[in-house]
Amino acid sequence: MNDGQNIVEIRNLKKYFPVKHKLFAKQNCLVRAVDDISFTIKKGETLGLVGESGCGKSTTGRTIVRLYKPTAGSVLYDGIDLAKLSKKEMRIMRRNMQIIFQDPFSSLNPRMTVGNIISEPFVIHNMGTKKTCKEHVEALINKVGLKGDTYYRYPHEFSGGQCQRLVIARALALNPEFIVCDEPISALDVSIQAQIVNLLEGLQEELKLTYLFIAHDLSMVRYISNRVAVMYLGKIFELGESEEIYTHPLHPYTKGLLSSIPYPNPKVERTRTRHFPSGEIPSPTDPPSGCRYHPRCPIADKKCKSDQPELKSVGKQHWVACHLI
Amino acid sequence: MKKELTTVNRQNNAAKNVKGILGGVLLFGIIFLSLIGPLVYQVDPRSTNLLQRLQPPALFSKASEHFLGTDQLGRDILSRLIYGARISLFVSLCSILIAIFLGVTLGMLAGYYGGWFDNLLMRIGDVQLSIPFLVLAISVIAVLGSGLVNVVLILGVTGWIQFGRVVRAETMHIKEREFVSSAIALGASDIRILFVHILPNIIPTTIVLTTFQFALLIIVESSLSFLGLGVQPPAASWGSMINDGKTYIQTAWWLSTIPGCMITLLVLGANLFGDWLRDRLDPHLQQQA
């Protein structure tokens, strides 16, 4: 049960997408984007979720904030099962959890002024008068570091980094406790990435926020996260404290991922032992039997082909899903 | 990102806008003339004068008092043209409004919700498109009778599919964009999303489509009137004027040719203007995408 410490709890979450085949195909394919994952997110922490493109990280994020309905399993927010809420209750619950996306330009309606965009949460939930709304919006815009008269401008008048700040401002409008950040910096210039990440960190401290930080930039995730989960083809392979995972990765896939990060120091680069995952990532419609990683794993054996490994604890706050650890 | 006004740019800008200016002048000029025409040129289009029948246009005959000549009953052609313009434009405008209302509403709903509703609508549209329009129109008029209102209804109800398909495709594209997902995550209702987020973003495409459909409807209405299925005499639309003049085409060529030219100019104007509008709105759309 909820001990007050966990703000979000995922239990055996599955999300499958049916792929419509040709008209007379016997069977529809299922894209198993998220295939039975469980984890918790503690209040005030940043949980990083990493993995290759197509592993199901974004789907997980969107399913948590109920943009998708889970195929199976449950999402608990503050101990409350979101599936059991009525439409009205869900609407109120949405105030607590928000999501920010990768493309800042696509996240803002090009036909609305910035003021209207950021005051939309207030309008949807019937909060405040026109005047108080405007004041709140101006305060939010200042909080994310934008100055000047932005209220009556349109999104196309701003740069990517500024747009992403506006997206963050909108996400903060209803004072959420939990924000899913779905690759919020991938589309930005490197220098701007640092600014936005620092902004997110500052806001987390000030407003006591909890983040699920989804990304494929491993270095950035290490910088911002307290704990990290590594996903592959809809499964979680490793979960643990951020530094622990980066310094002592246990799962072969995690080792492979971290090997791929180039070191700026040529001496170290030359002397490193690196294990690259071999082959191509399989299709999520037809995942390998047993452990999903066995076709590419350097140490796979017979058991890995037949049995799926469960996440098991291997130390303080460190879980791995592998038969051979 | 200001563009420097070099000579080349200036020429490009002018060239790009010629279409819009020419189209706009033709389209809105004709509309304007049809509105103020009766105030300026006060000749009754219905007054017949059998002594003056089949007078050629003043340009071609020094004896004629009528600027564009008269028809077989002595009615002044210019005046009939102006009043006819009103009818043609009115019919097209009303039917396009019906088509837009039906097409945009149903298209948005089909694109947003998908499922059986989408399938049903698209199949109905396919059936409509598979029947040649004139065959459809003749059948409906045979049942409902001819006349202004019926023509407007037919054109509107059969025209919806053009808007419906485009709006449906646009909606399906827009609803995947992240500002719609953000609105859902904020708790917005479906109605709010349709009206505040999707509708304003399909308006540019709809406007461009309207100009092209408008031109098409002018031609269609003229065809119906030409066949005698549209507006009935003594009311004149350009199509019926062409019909009236067809027996005299060897001798009094101006009876059919002049309304025909007017239709051509109006349709040309609408198409040029629509082209220009689409070119102007497209880069904007791509910038914002």
What is the value of pTM for the model shown?
0.84
Q: A50-59, B10-19, B51-60, B227-236 — which is least confidently predicted? A: B10-19
pLDDT value, residue A58: 92
pLDDT value, residue B226: 85
Q: A180-189, A276-285, A304-313 — which is least confidently predicted? A: A276-285
Does residue A3 have a pLDDT over 70? Answer: no
Chain B residues with CB inside 8 Å of A65's CB? 185
Name the residue with higher pLDDT: B119 or B15.
B119
- Write out pLDDT tens, residues A216-247: 888 889 999 999 999 999 999 999 999 999 88
Q: To which H or E segment does residue A46 belong?
A: strand A46-50
Angstroms from B123 CA to nearest CA on chain A: 16
CATH number at residue B244: 1.10.3720.10
Domain that holds residue B113: 67-288
Per-residue burial over B29-44, b if 16 or more Cβ lie within 10 Å, else e, is ebeeebeebeeeeeee
Does residue B162 lie within any of the structural domains?
Answer: yes
Does residue B256 lie within any of the structural domains?
Answer: yes
pLDDT value, residue A149: 86
Map B42-58 to HEC letters: CCCCCCCCHHHCCCCCC
Question: What's the whole-number average pLDDT of chain B?
Answer: 84
B20 falls in which pLDDT band (50, 70, 90)?
Answer: confident
Does residue B26 have a pLDDT over 70? Answer: yes
Does residue B7 lie within any of the structural domains?
Answer: no
Q: Which residues contact B269 (CB under 8 A, 6 or more apart)?
A: B22, B23, B24, B25, B26, B27, B28, B29, B30
B105 falls in which pLDDT band (50, 70, 90)?
Answer: very high
Q: Measured between alpha carbons, how far is B85 from B82 in angstroms, rounded to an integer?
A: 5
Does residue A325 have a pLDDT over 70? Answer: yes
Q: Measured between alpha carbons, how far is A123 from A141 in angstroms, rounded to an integer?
A: 17
CATH placement of domain A6-43+58-96+216-320: 3.40.50.300
H runs (alpha helix) in B175-232: 178-186, 190-192, 199-226
Chain A residues with CB inside 8 Å of B187's CB? 90-92, 94-95, 121, 124-125
| DSSP secondary structure letter of residue B84 | H
Interface of A with B (CB under 8 A): 62, 65-67, 90-92, 94-95, 97-99, 101-103, 105-112, 120-121, 124-125, 155-156, 167, 170, 174
Does residue B148 have a pLDDT over 60? Answer: yes
Interface of B with A (CB under 8 A): 177-179, 181-189, 192, 196-197, 200-201, 287-289
Does residue A109 have a pLDDT over 70? Answer: yes
Question: Which tokens belong to B237?
Answer: 């639309």
Chain B residues with CB inside 8 Å of A108's CB? 179
ipTM of model: 0.89
Does residue A28 have a pLDDT over 50? Answer: yes
Contact status, residue B98 vs residue B152, Cβ threshold 8 Å: yes
Does residue B283 have a pLDDT over 60? Answer: no
Does residue B267 lie within any of the structural domains?
Answer: yes
Does residue B130 lie within any of the structural domains?
Answer: yes
pLDDT value, residue B183: 95
B265 falls in which pLDDT band (50, 70, 90)?
Answer: very high
Question: What's the whole-number average pLDDT of chain A?
Answer: 89
Does residue B245 have a pLDDT over 50? Answer: yes
The dihedral formed by the CA atoms of B60, B66, B67 and B73, expressed in degrees to the nearest 10? -90
Does residue A22 have a pLDDT over 70? Answer: no
How many structural domains are present in chain B?
1
Does residue B111 have a pLDDT over 60? Answer: yes
- Write out pLDDT tens, residues A77-92: 998 999 999 999 999 9
Cβ contact, residue pair A99, B200, below 8 Å: no
pLDDT value, residue A2: 40
Q: A31-45, A124-138, A173-187, B274-288 — which is least confidently predicted? A: B274-288
- Strands A6-19 and A72-77, how do they pair? antiparallel
Residue (of A264, A261, A177, A169) closest to A221 by Cα position:
A261
Does residue B175 have a pLDDT over 50? Answer: yes
